[in-house]
Structure formats: structure tokens, C-alpha cells
Structure 1
């Protein structure tokens, strides 16, 4: 039984990561036999992982097939509203509860990520690590769980807002402002800085979508 449970967890994590890094994009069909062969896992845990992902709305039905879900305009807007509030709360709690070591890690992350501003894919991965570190620094397990689900759903967006021209450098400056507020134990300032950061990211994505619709 423990081995079966571990296999289920592994299959779920493997598929989720493949969606997250873009191996499977919105609209792609997921086939049990192909996934089992790719990941070296039997079909039973793959089937259970797919059911779990469907329950979380990360996959959807297309006839008898399961495909990676996509977000329409309203779903994206709803997601950003929730993300803005939860991320802001995480920053506020991080300003209150983060250890000095956790703050130092955030500062080091921002410094290191400056070198990635011209590589949107690498910066997107670094951005995710940065936000996850703030979540952990909030020291609230229930908030971390909710933000984990929000960030999984973000993977259903085909592109990153960090791909917009100049957005990488701007985002880095926003990250620095967030960390400065956390380091200063400015709870209100940290919350506002992170909420502003999410708002700008949302506006950037809306502009990207408008440009794509014109093509």
C-alpha cells in the first residue's frame, strides 16, 4: 500500500511538472499509455493522477479524451484577483514572521535573478521560486497550500508576462521593493508592494492577449 501511494504521488507530480514547464500545453491531449511509457510508471497511478488533475480543473474533457485545460478571459481575471489577495497576505505575514535567514535568501535570489532579465523562460522559473520562498516565509501552511493551487493553475497560461519587452527588469525592481519592505518588517508596505506587482503582471498579460488577438 505505501508503495502504491508513493507511485500515485510520483505520477501526479511528474504530470504536473510537465504541464508547468510547458511539455504539455493547453489543448494538448494526455494519453494514459503514452504517459506511462514516458514516466516509467504503470497505467493505474497515471489514471488516478489524471483523475486528480481533472478534479482540480487542470485537465478537462474533450469527448472521451482528457486535455490540458485553458483559461478564458474571465477565468484569468478571477485567478489574478485571488492571486493578488493571497500573495499580498503572504508578503504581509512574511514581513511579520520571516527569519533573518529567510530574508537573506530572498535578497540573494533577487540579486542572482538580475542576470536573467533577458531570458524570459529562466526568469519565469526563478520568479516562481522567489514567490514560493515568500509563501514559505509567511509561516502559514494553509496559505501556502492555497497559493500552491493558484500557481499550478497559472501553468495553464501558454505564455509568461515576463516575456513582454522590458517586463523582466521592471519585475526585478518590483521584487526588490517587496523584499526591502519585508526586511524592514513593514507589513502594510510589503502587502501593497506585492499586490502592485501582481496588478502590473495582470495588466501586462492583458496587453499581450490584446496583441495576439490582432494577429
Structure 2
């Protein structure tokens, strides 16, 4: 049984609650079938993590401004690249095979941006775990939690899903061959392309 915190966080990550949405204690308790006390504690925890912000007496899902997004992508690129480099060194044959299987599953869902976004999170998480560095995994969890505050996935942009899958293949190939430099480079490029796509989405949204 998941706790209230995990349930609310998962709903934000899934886009059930989007930036700007108000979270009401009683509604959340009813929705998830839990009492109001753990919901209240979960909301306080999410507020301290800057996932929620106060709007008068209400708590709303936070949104990231352009500068916050830029800062997040810088940190993400560095940490993800390090995870890929360490995965190339430490991943077990089984972990590499799982990454390969994930690529096949991604190909099957390339026409569904939301499904692809979910599998993309799983793919990156698998690389984090394959780094075999618990402190790095913890930091990347924080980064990916903040990424849930983006209004939409960059994979929704035209042509991005196919390009992202090709980038994933290069990352897995580098990890499988034990080439840390290539894995680092491939993942940095992948994050750079995702950021470029998001900048284009932003420009269109405000254009």
C-alpha cells in the first residue's frame, strides 16, 4: 500500500494534477481512500520540497519559470551523464539486457507521448540504478521529481519521440560496450536535444 505522499507525487508526475492546480485536503483523502492526517502531512512535505506553493490559504502545484528550467537541465545533464559513465563501468549483463528490452517497448509506444514519457522515466531510472551509486540515485530522484512540474513532456513535440529513441539506442550501446566516455557524451547530447525541444515548445506557447 502506497502512502499519501507517494500517491500525490505519482498523480503530479502522471499529469493528473498540473502546475497551477489547487490541491484540497478533503478531496485528496477521498480520492486516495486515506484519512486527512497523512494527506496533510504529505502536502506539508511536498511544500517543503517546493513541489507545492501557497496561494493565499490554498496549496497549488508549483510551476517552473524559464530560469528554473534552465538550471534544472544543467544539473540534469551533469548528473545523468555521470550515471551513464558509471553504468558503463558497473552495469551487470542483466541490467544491460533490461535496458535493451526497454528500447523495444519504447518503440511500440512511440505514437503515445504520455506512455512514452512514462517509459522514458523508467529508462532513465534504470540507468541511474545501473550506476551502482546510491548518492547519485538520490540526487537524480530529486531532479526527476522537479521535472514532474513541467507542463508537458518534450516528447510530445513533432518528431521528438523518434529522435529520443535513437538517442536512447546510442546510450545503451555505449553502456553495453563499457565505454564510459561515449555513454557520457551520448547522454549529454540526449539531454541537450530535450532542452532544445522544450525551448521550442516554450517559444511556440508564448508566440
TM-score (norm 2): 0.98
For residue 117 of structure 1, report the CA deviation from its aligned partner. Answer: 1.5
For residue 111 of structure 1, report the CA deviation from its aligned partner. Answer: 1.7
Q: Secondary structure at the match of 2:111?
A: coil
2:106 counterpart residue number = 113
* Equivalent residues, number: 207
1:101 counterpart residue number = 94
Instruction: Give, in whole Å, the separation in 1 of the partners of 2:128 and 2:79.
Output: 9
Alignment of structure 1 residues 62-211 onto 2, 5 Å: 62-211=55-204
Instruction: Give, in whole Å, the separation in 1 of the partners of 2:153 and 2:99.
Output: 21
Unaligned runs of 5+ in 1: 1-5
Q: Secondary structure at the match of 2:132?
A: coil
TM-score (norm 1): 0.95
For residue 181 of structure 1, report the CA deviation from its aligned partner. Answer: 0.2
Instruction: Give, in whole Å, the separation in 1 of the partners of 2:115 and 2:17.
Output: 18
1:37 counterpart residue number = 30
For residue 115 of structure 1, report the CA deviation from its aligned partner. Answer: 1.6
For residue 68 of structure 1, report the CA deviation from its aligned partner. Answer: 0.2
Instruction: Give, in whole Å, the separation in 2 of the partners of 1:191 and 1:67.
Output: 36
Q: Give per-residue Cα distances to partners, 1:85-124, cap 9 Å, x unaligned.
A: 0000000000000000000110111122112221111111
Stretches of 4+ aligned residues off by more than 4 angstroms:
none
Unaligned runs of 5+ in 2: none
Q: Secondary structure at the match of 2:54?
A: strand
Point out the more displaced range, 168-177 or 103-112: 103-112
Instruction: Give, in whole Å, the separation in 1 of the partners of 2:89 and 2:17.
Output: 38
